[in-house]
Amino acid sequence: MSMVRRLLLLLFVLVVSSLAVAAPVSAGGSGATSSTVNSHGVFVPFHVDSTCGTASGTISGTGNQVFHLTVSKDGNEFWLTTTQEAWFTITPDDPTQTAFSGHFAFWFGQSGNTNNFVSHQITNVKATATDGSGATVSFNFVQHFSVSASGNINEFMACH
C-alpha cells in the first residue's frame, strides 16, 4: 500500500475516532459542528514506503498532533486538517541499510462539498544517520489531489 493511501486510511481512522470520543461544539451561528483532538507523546510505530529516495521502513518516535474536523449543518461540506511534528527514528526494512533519526513536520488538509473535493499534504524531514557516518537526509514532499464540479481531476506529487 502506498504512503499516500496509508496516510488517507490513517486520517479516516482518526476522523472516526475523534467523532466517537470528542464532543462536537457549535462553530459560530452557522450550525456547523467541529471537533479538535490533541495528541502528545509516543506514537504507534508505522511502516512507510520509500519516499523521495529514502528507504522503506518502520518509523517510531514521540511528538505532537492536532486533528481538526468541521462539518456544515447540512452535512454537505467538510474541512479536515491535521498537523504533526515528531522526533523519530526510521529502521529500514533492509538490515544492510542505515537507520536515521531526526525531526519531521507534517500537514494534511481536505475539504469537500457536493461539487468539489481537495486533498493536500506537505511533509518536511531532516535526519542524520545513526551509524556515526554523518550522512543526512533532508526533503520536502508535496502532494495535491482535487476533483472539480465538472469532474476534472488534478493530481501531483513532488519531492524537493
Q: What is the residue extent of each domain of the chain?
A: 3-159
pLDDT, position 58: 97
- Is the model more confident about 13 or about 136? 136
Question: Could you tell me the pLDDT band of residue 26, with boundaries at 50, 70 and 90?
Answer: very low
* Most confident residue range from 1-5, 15-19, 42-46, 98-102: 98-102
pLDDT, position 7: 45
pLDDT, position 16: 41
Question: Could you tell me the pLDDT band of residue 29, with boundaries at 50, 70 and 90?
Answer: low
Q: Is 14 helix (H, G, I), strand (E, B) or coil?
A: helix
pLDDT, position 111: 96
Question: Which of these ranges, 6-10, 26-30, 154-158, has the smallest mean pLDDT?
Answer: 6-10
pLDDT tens readout for residues 47-61: 999 988 899 999 999
Q: What is the pTM of this model?
A: 0.74
Question: Could you tell me the pLDDT band of residue 17, with boundaries at 50, 70 and 90?
Answer: very low
Q: Is residue 151 within 8 Å of 117, Cβ to Cβ?
A: no
The per-type count for the chain, helices as H runs and strands as E runs, is 1, 8
Q: From CA 131, how far away is CA 101, in angstroms rounded?
A: 10
Q: Is residue 98 within 8 Å of 73, Cβ to Cβ?
A: no
